[in-house]
Amino acid sequence: MKMVKIGNIELPEFPLLLAPMEDVSDPPFRRLCKTHGADMMYSEFISSEGLIRDAIKSRMKLDIFDYERPVGIQIFGGDEEAMEMSSKIVSTVKPDLVDINFGCPVKKVVCRGAGAGVLKDVDLMVRLTKAVIKGTDLPVTVKTRLGWDESSINIDEVAERLQDIGVQALTIHARTRAQMYKGHSDWSHIARVKNNPRITMPIFGNGDIDSPEKALQYKNEYGIDGIMIGRAAIGYPWIFNEIKHYFKTGEHLPAPTVIDRVEAARNHLKWSMEWKGERLGIVEMRRHYTNYFKGIHSFKEFKQKLVTTDEPENLFAIMKEIEQVYAGYEFV
């Protein structure tokens, strides 16, 4: 079997990565995805300026746990000095790698000359990356997009220049910044980067993978080294093991039952309360229930209870009731 290597990190052949997602990829969610087969994960993205200012929210995002390894911490920013200093800070908590976000399309990030905003200025992207590499002994990787818009796709130049300065893996979201998260991703650009004889670092693809069939099709069609999964894992951490099983056997694992879904939601809630504190853990979990119980008929009343109940024991009792009411429920 051919391992995929990032620095001294050894990943299995064709690894499945969990994408860094703001307000989603926190330790409780990562733990759940790890349990269900994710091979490598990343923190939510962290502002380099926030880290240096000692912003509490930024510092909390540095929390990593041994059971998650290998795990990367992702930073973003538009200032070289701040990026170097934040990579030094990140190194102190000993993740397995430091990842740079040059792909976030959100306006407030782009306006600060960070995230996908850097796609307009490849020289700046190179300088910022050099600053991060200078600040750490850990492997440095990058996540980016195809380019700013359809008329300025520059991922070929970006990949070569980043590899030349020491970047050890590249994840490409197969959309431009102008597309945001809409329209179709175009993986042919990723395949072209992967097939460039100059490129030796691992190339991971990201965008629209939401089923085992699609994962296998893209693996075969585009020749990438692995896939990063984002939105499809929200409320559905089973996708990692489902893809792995399908690769091995060509068959589907049985779909998660209501019991499986309740167990995942219960664990997610429990771990959120442990990490964030009871109150915040309960409140921030509310955004996830819709995803865990998607597709269950006549669920509105239970959902209402889940998002308005404040006591842990009552929430766990509601989940128990969901298990009983929907025992044997079959998803259509």
| Residue-range domains of the chain with CATH | 4-249 (3.20.20.70), 258-326 (1.10.1200)
pLDDT tens for residues 247-276? 999 999 999 999 999 999 999 999 999 999
pLDDT band at 214 (very low <50, low <70, confident <90, very high): very high
Characterize the bridge pairing of strands 140-145 and 46-47: unpaired
Residue 74 known to bind ligand: yes
Q: Distance between CA 126 and CA 163 in Å, rounded?
A: 10
Q: Which of 332 and 49 is assigned the larger pLDDT?
A: 49
Residue 107 known to bind ligand: no
Tell me which residue has tokens 């170097």. Answer: 84
Tokens of 296: 């269950």
Specify whether the CB–CB gap between 96 and 70 falls below 8 A: yes
Tell me which residue has tokens 């959100």. Answer: 106
pLDDT tens for residues 54-87? 776 777 888 999 999 999 999 999 999 999 999 9
> What region does 231 belong to: left with phi over 0, alpha with psi -120 to 50, or beta?
alpha
Q: For residues 150-157, give the mean pLDDT.
A: 88
Q: For residues 178-188, give the mean pLDDT.
A: 81
Tell me which residue has tokens 């921030």. Answer: 284
Q: Which residues contact 166 (CB under 8 A, 6 or more apart)?
A: 133, 140
Residue 157 has pLDDT above 90, yes or no: yes
Give yes or no: 104 in active site: yes
- Residue 289 is predicted with a pLDDT of 95
Q: Which of 149, 163, 144 is nearest to 204 (CA)?
A: 144
What is the three-class DSSP state of 238?
Answer: coil
pTM of the model: 0.92
pLDDT band at 332 (very low <50, low <70, confident <90, very high): low
Tokens of 277: 């504190």
Residue 303 known to bind ligand: no
pLDDT band at 110 (very low <50, low <70, confident <90, very high): confident
Residue 181 has pLDDT above 70, yes or no: yes
Alpha-carbon distances, residue 116 vs 103, 216, 220, 281 (angstroms): 4, 28, 28, 31
Residue 100 has pLDDT above 70, yes or no: yes
Average pLDDT, the chain: 92
pLDDT tens for residues 7-61? 999 999 999 999 999 889 999 999 999 999 999 999 999 989 888 887 767 778 8
Residue 230 known to bind ligand: yes
- Residue 106 is predicted with a pLDDT of 74
Please give the helix or strand (H or E) that residue 271 lies within, else none.
helix 258-276
Angle value at C-alpha 130, between 180 and 95, nearest 5 degrees: 75
Please give the helix or strand (H or E) that residue 4 lies within, else none.
strand 4-6
Give just the sign of the alpha carbon dihedral 20, 187, 107, 153: positive
Q: Please report, rounded to a whole number, the percentage of residues in the chain having pLDDT higher than 90.
A: 77
> Of the residues 6, 73, 104, 116, which is catalytic?
104
Q: Distance between CA 230 and CA 209 in Å, rounded?
A: 8
- Residue 1 is predicted with a pLDDT of 57
- Residue 114 is predicted with a pLDDT of 76
Could you list the beta-strand ranges (E) of 66-139.
Answer: 71-76, 97-102
Residue 320 known to bind ligand: no
In the chain, count H helices and then E strands.
Answer: 15, 11
